[in-house]
């Protein structure tokens, strides 16, 4: 909510920062989980997508080009046809609770 | 249980960081917390800090910081806390 010229309006954070001359500093985290899951990496991504849909029913998840995203959280699988897959989980600081929850979920799969 | 988790993931007041990270101050705080193996090298518009023992990389630019770790949450949370101390918030 921004007050400007004696009136108020709703702006998204990026626009409001530009308007006020504030230089936002974006913190992003990327953590890597190693999973033993033979087969193509797309198959692993599908399994992770199914698990996340199950655990996060109230969130809107998207699955594009083998990457899963929800809010600023991005989950990507690498290691084509290797038994061992590297799963990258990335999120911005504003989604810390969601990002660290998803990282914990994937970590528990790897154990 | 699940109830606690759902509560934790409910929307809440979100704060945003702003300003430029002072790399010298950040390194000082790292060493105060016992992280003394930081290797700093300039890259592009910023610096890359490599923490070999902690297996972590921190890429710092004027408007963004990227923390890359393995799945060790202890070190990531420690780095997050230090970063938050070094940046202004609204």
- Tell me the domains of chain A and their CATH numbers: 27-109 (3.30.310)
* Pairing assessment for the beta strands B17-18 and B88-89 based on DSSP bridges: antiparallel
Using alpha carbons, select from A61, A68, A71 the residue that is nearest to residue A93.
A71
Q: Which one of 3.40.50, 1.20.1460, 3.30.310, 2.60.40 gives the CATH number of domain B15-89?
A: 3.30.310
Q: What is the pLDDT of residue A1?
A: 66
Domain residue extents for chain B: 15-89
Q: Are A36 and A56 in contact (CB under 8 A)?
A: no
Q: A36-71 in b/e burial notation, b at 16+ Cβ within 10 A?
A: ebeebbeebbeebbeebeeebeeeeeebeebebbbe
Taking CB atoms and an 8 Å limit, are A28 and B67 in contact across chains?
A: yes
- Residue A93: list chain B partners with CB under 8 A: 17, 80, 84
The answer on pLDDT for B2 being more than 70 is no
Q: How far is B35 from chain A, CA to nearest CA, in Å?
A: 19
Residue in B with minimal Cα distance to A29: B67
- Better pLDDT: B65 or A15: B65
Cα gap B56→A89, rounded to integer Å? 14
- Residue B83: list chain A partners with CB under 8 A: 27
Q: Give chain A's mean pLDDT.
A: 90
Mean pLDDT, rounded, for B58-73? 94
pLDDT, tens only, A13-62: 777 777 777 889 999 999 999 999 999 999 999 999 999 999 999 999 99
What ipTM did this prediction achieve?
0.88
Widest distance between CA atoms in chain B:
46
CB atoms within 10 A of CB A17: 16
Interface test with A, best of B4, B22, B49, B68 (most A CBs within 10 A): B68
Q: What is the pLDDT of residue B1?
A: 43
Mean pLDDT, rounded, for B39-57? 95
């Amino acid at each position: 909510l921004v007050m400007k010229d004696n009136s108020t309006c709703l702006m998204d954070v990026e626009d409001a920062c530009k308007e006020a001359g504030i230089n936002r500093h974006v913190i992003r985290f990327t953590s890597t989980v190693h999973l033993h899951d033979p087969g193509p990496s797309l198959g692993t991504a599908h399994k992770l997508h199914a698990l996340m849909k199950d655990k996060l029913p109230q969130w809107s998840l998207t699955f594009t080009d083998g990457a899963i995203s929800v809010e600023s959280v991005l989950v990507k699988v690498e290691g084509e046809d290797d038994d061992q897959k590297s799963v990258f989980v990335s999120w911005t600081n504003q989604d810390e609770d969601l990002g660290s929850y998803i990282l914990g979920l994937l970590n528990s799969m790897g154990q | 249980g699940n109830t606690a988790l759902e509560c934790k993931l409910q929307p809440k007041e979100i704060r945003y960081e702003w300003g430029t990270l002072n790399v010298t101050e950040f390194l000082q705080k790292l060493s105060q917390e016992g992280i003394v193996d930081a290797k700093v090298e300039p890259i592009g518009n910023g610096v890359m800090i490599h923490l070999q023992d902690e297996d972590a990389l921190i890429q710092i630019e004027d408007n963004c910081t990227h923390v890359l770790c393995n799945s060790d949450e202890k070190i990531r949370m420690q780095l997050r806390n230090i970063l938050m101390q070094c940046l202004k918030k609204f």
